A and B are shown apart, each in its own frame.
Chain A
Amino acid sequence: MTRLKDIAKACKSKNAGPFHITLDIMFDQPALFERVRASGVVSAELIARLYGVPVGEVLFTEYPPALAWKATIPRRIASGAVGDTDVYGAQQHAPLLDIEIPD
């Protein structure tokens, strides 16, 4: 097994407006992107499971021009509201790092 953090160029998170967080998985080598794509591991279902949100609330897009996947999910708490932990949403990417890709 290989973990995404060892082969991806970037795994990142950011606000997409005050009520959503968007997660990006990006590669810089087409062959690696195609390998992960062929594995079928990266999916809306996976994101839903990792973040504990209903799959119907995951907006999931495969974006080959950037060798990337994007998933957008609702925030637990609106940006900057009482109890929020990450106003910019920039540090919610950790669960992506350990995604296992079959060798």
Chain B
Amino acid sequence: MTGPKKTVTMMSASGILGYGFPEASLEAALARKPDMIGVDGGSSDPGPHYLGSGKTLNSRLAMKRDLSLLLRGAIRNGIPMMVGTCGGAGGKPHLEACADIIREVAREHGLSFRMALIHAEQDAAFIVEQLEAGKVRPLNNAPQIGAEDIRGAERIVGMMGPEPYRAALAAGAQVILGGRGTDPAPWVALAMHHGLPPAPAWYAGKMLECACNAAIPKKHDCLLVTVGEDFVEAEPLNPELRCTPLSVAVQALHENASPVIRHEPGGIVDSTDCRIEAVTERIVRITGMRWKPMPYSIKLEGARMVGYSAIAIAATRDPGLIGQIDSFLDFVRGSTATKVTALGISPADYQLVIRAYGRDGVMGAWEPHAELAPVELALIAEVVAKNQETANAALSLARVTLLHSDFPGRMCREGNMAFPFSPSDIERGAIYEFMLQHVVEIEDPLRMFPISYEDVGASA
């Protein structure tokens, strides 16, 4: 444990591990002798597929490039390197994928260090136990869930706070890879490890998790943040970028429900009364943030498999068809259902979803101009069914029904649709959905996040 420090300087490489960053910015950061370098690795934004399937969001090649530079920089300078929400979703396979890269880089470059892996994937039986003890609470208007929902999940992760990272630092780990966590966690942990109070530590963590999202012009680049007892200062490392009071204030809007109140494990970060001032034309200082402790809780994320999907993409350029597309699609749905039933497939066993791009494909019911008639209209027909064979069979009938159904005034008698691909029908495999918007109340911040340690590169 290091003694208390007046200020701590921390670097974040980019918004997400694998997005890339300029090597010169990392070197500029290291020249400033920061107390740690790190990067956040995840988000739920790309959807439920990654948590459900166990695949990583970014490619192994891209993650290895970033991790190799960060790891070598950290070891050379004797400072900690931390990665939050490894592999995009922070489950066991995602954490293991990043750990595997770290071991490989260490081997290739002859590096040795102590590594901590913080596990965030939750045992269904443990969550069911908490549910039955009344410790699992829905957020907002999330639906009630039962033990069967939990047992039916493909994967559940808890979003750790900074405490497991602090424990790993205290145990002497230099490289710390985390499973799913709240994005600011690694930097909050480092600042608090050095004795700084939670309010500026959390504010700094929130800035750092998205790196140069807090600077202009916007690009994937490294951010340096200095934290003191009562202030945070942010500075981009690329001389072409600037932090301004406005760019920093704008970052507070990013991906939050509220720009001023942020719920985190164990408390609330309140920036209602923050002052945001320019120190130079590239450096911004923020003061006045507050931390309000709350009973400790951990947010859960879960994904369940909903079936197997197949899609076909088609488009029409026929004004007669576009002018009556709603009644035509109703007919296609009805006719497809009849043909699918004839295969012995129950209507309960599949769903057909047709999106009309050029009309309301992007916004659905929220589209304010759905009545405008486009010149061409793209349709994506999707079937989701309990197995791939059923999905393929139903989609194939939906596709031919789109192509060859009659409609009043039809002139295009050889087919209604332009298909850009052969094969037209594309299997998407298993698909997932998010199924938890809940927190579990738990007194011990470490309880759900076991840490394993290993000496990487030690002479064996």
Contacts and interface: CB of A to CB of B under 8 A. Distances in A.
B434 A79 contact: yes
Interface of A is mostly: loop
Given A74-B141, A79-B47, A63 B253 contact: yes
Interface size class of B (residues with CB under 8 A): 35 or more
Contact of B433 (A16, A78, A86, A95): A78
Interface residues of A, number: 44
A11 B307 CA distance: 36
A79 to B, nearest CB: 5
B437 A59 contact: no
B434 A80 contact: yes
Contact of A61 (B245, B259, B309): B259
Interface stretch (B1-9, B172-180, B331-339, B364-372): B364-372
A81 B257 contact: no
Contact of B48 (A17, A61, A79): A79
Given A18-B48, A61-B260, A78-B434, A86 B363 contact: yes
Interface in A45-103: 50-52, 57, 59, 61, 63, 65-68, 70, 72, 74, 76-89, 91-92, 94-95, 98
Contacts, number: 132
Given A17-B437, A50-B368, A78-B433, A66 B259 contact: yes
A86 B362 contact: yes
A87 B47 contact: yes
B442 interface: no
Contacts of B274: 65
B249 A66 contact: yes
Nearest to B47: A80
A59 B257 contact: yes
A88 B254 CA distance: 13
Contacts of A91: 362-363
Given A19-B140, A79-B47, A63 B249 contact: yes
B282 to A, nearest CB: 18
Nearest to B434: A18
B257 A20 contact: yes
Contacts of A82: 306-307, 309, 351, 353, 382, 384, 431, 433
Nearest to A78: B434
A28 B247 CA distance: 10
Contacts of A22: 253, 255-257
A80 B362 contact: no
Contacts of A61: 258-260
Contacts of B291: none
B426 interface: no
Contact of B366 (A19, A28, A76): A76
A14 interface: yes
Interface in A23-63: 24, 26, 28, 50-52, 57, 59, 61, 63
Nearest to B142: A19
Contacts of B437: 17-19
B252 interface: yes
A41 B369 CA distance: 21
B353 A83 contact: yes
B246 A66 contact: yes
Which 4 A-B pairs rank lowest in CB-CB distance, beginning with the nearest?
A80-B47, A66-B249, A81-B433, A18-B434
Given A85-B364, A92-B366, 15 more contacts: A17-B257, A22-B256, A65-B274, A65-B276, A66-B252, A68-B250, A70-B258, A74-B140, A74-B141, A78-B433, A80-B48, A80-B49, A85-B361, A87-B47, A94-B363
Interface of A: 14-20, 22, 24, 26, 28, 50-52, 57, 59, 61, 63, 65-68, 70, 72, 74, 76-89, 91-92, 94-95, 98
Interface of B: 44-49, 140-142, 245-246, 249-250, 252-260, 274, 276, 301, 306-307, 309, 351, 353, 355, 361-369, 382, 384, 431-434, 437
17 contacts: A14-B254, A14-B255, A15-B255, A18-B44, A18-B301, A22-B253, A26-B250, A52-B365, A70-B256, A74-B140, A77-B364, A80-B48, A81-B48, A83-B353, A85-B355, A85-B363, A92-B362
